[in-house]
Structure 1
Amino acid sequence: MEIGKNKFVSLSYQLRLNGAEGDLIEETGADNPLQFVFGAGRMIEMFEKKLEGLKKGDNFDFLLKSHEAYGEVNADAIVDLPKNIFEVNGQIDESLLKIGNMVPMQDANGNRLNGMVIEVTDTTVKMDFNHPLAGDDLHFSGKVIDVREATEQELVEAMGGSCSGGCGDGCSC
């Protein structure tokens, strides 16, 4: 069976930064594979395009340029915020505002964002809301462990639904 839309895919892989000899930043094996429903929009689009058509047992080795992965670094996503917005009950948790910490936040529309603390002054905190891998080329190499039809429940979950509503919500019972 080939990797294609609505197939449940299991992969082992190595992810290296900026080429096949770059720093290893993530690795999965057969005992802890990456598993996902292909075409559900949860993976990098170009990552899926490079895997499409592969079968169980096939090896892969490809590079995604930064613009095909998490994009270039966006200078507009690096912002100075007033330090007082980090107050809880009139106190700022200084351990939260350490350089390199990822801080979960929300924008004005309630969207969740993760920002990295890159500078702290007496009155401001400089945050970088770019993806941590923005600006990096990503080299993937690995093996397709399995490809099968996704179950109804896997499809619902992959599309952001849940199976809490019972048999009538598209889930298997």
Structure 2
Amino acid sequence: MRVKLIESRKVYDGEVSMRLERFSINGRTVDKEIVEHRPSVGIIAVEDDRIFLVSQYRRAADRALLEIPAGKIEEGETPVAAAKREMDEEIGYSGTLKPFLKWYLAPGYDTELMHLFVAKNLHRIPSRREMDDDEDIAVKKVRLDAAVKKCFSGEITDAKTIAAILAYRLKPI
């Protein structure tokens, strides 16, 4: 496969950015919109046979979704530090983090790479950090088998959460 960038120009710059790219691939010229997104973290927080999920409103979906705790890696932050911060903010716990998987969430148009961690040896943090302005989170502890069923029943529709739950179910660490 031969790929050559012909042109790239930023058309929007904000919390996420967008660029238009023209490139050739195997002799064909292609135009593509690319969303530039910071890397992110996701956490499978495990306590006994339960995992922590959060229910939060997502404007793009116009409803509350049941998800694993997750969020952007801030500038200058490591993936581990971001995972610790997100656990604190979203579920009010800390624990031992182990890297599990890395995956692109929507590589057809988005640069976001998620670092997935498993958190164990959890303990409650006395005072949770401030949440982001768009967060109104309800924390739920769900048995792993029940979470798997929710992935197939349509109760969980968030792709990163479905992938994380099923991957962890197949290969718990």
Q: Give the TM interval when normalised to the shorter protein.
A: under 0.3
Relative to total residues, which structure has the larger strand share, 1 or 2?
2
Max radius of gyration: which structure?
1
Instruction: Provide the TM-score with structure 2 as the length reference.
Output: 0.22
Instruction: Provide the TM-score with structure 1 as the length reference.
Output: 0.22
Relative to total residues, which structure has the larger helix share, 1 or 2?
2
